[in-house]
Structure 1
């Protein structure tokens, strides 16, 4: 085995174990480094990261795509990811659970791409465990960011999503308001 376990988790270019031996001036041997790494990972139960909004967003986008076929999936995914990344710039969204951030990114992406249709349905409610009314406050915050993103001092996310690679989703027209009835559902 050339690489250690935990480096494989995040690194693109994984250092070899012999490099760690060298860094320690050969104080530790390869087998000792690998055993200690295994012990640490075992103690952590191999749980090295908390779930982020992106973990939930993949699932929610998949569910949303199955419930509406009018929009190309790649466009929808790019827009939902853009909205989720915008949430990182807004202090008031820090208190929301990652699953909630993913849900409101899904809601808002569906709304922006199909503004005449209710963005939330019973299938999304089932798979996300959120009602449309649960999303109201946070969706409004992100809706404001989407509508006024070009005037923001923090333009890196917008510039990223203005590229062809991301289907220019940051340039998409964002309707100025969301009908209040979109946050209500007969089974809500």
Structure 2
């Protein structure tokens, strides 16, 4: 196979067109004189992604496309036909929609002390001192106080973890915030178990 691309053919991978579907094109592409299959991103993306630019785990191959085994089959078949592969990697794109992205979830929970904080471009030291070491996510449809009074923020407990849901947005509660939340809840509930 040529080391440098002479001619590429781009495929858009998604759940309905995965690694095995792309592999089925190998003979046809070789006959056309294509040297490399140019693949859309195929690292683990958000569930149902049709484009792959919403990566949730950059350490895994997307299961919806056929997983690691499907990727291995694709590489083998391309090699048999003398084709290389060019991959559109997207290290600057990640989905931040929920716990499916463990790196981002950890940053939301632990702020700058997260093991993954250096991978994200977060302004930990803004001019406003009350915002230092916080991640601001602009998802509220109104001012915070109004949203809170309207009961649109829902605190939930899942085992030892707490989350806040705002419609279809799910966010972790930072462990360092739990004392304030639980102390207030204990007073309202007259419960020593929460204090």
TM superposition score normalised by structure 2: 0.26
More strand by share: 2
Work out which structure has the larger RCO, using CA pairs closer than 8 Å and 6 or more positions apart in sequence: 1
More helix by share: 1
Q: Rg bigger for which structure?
A: 2
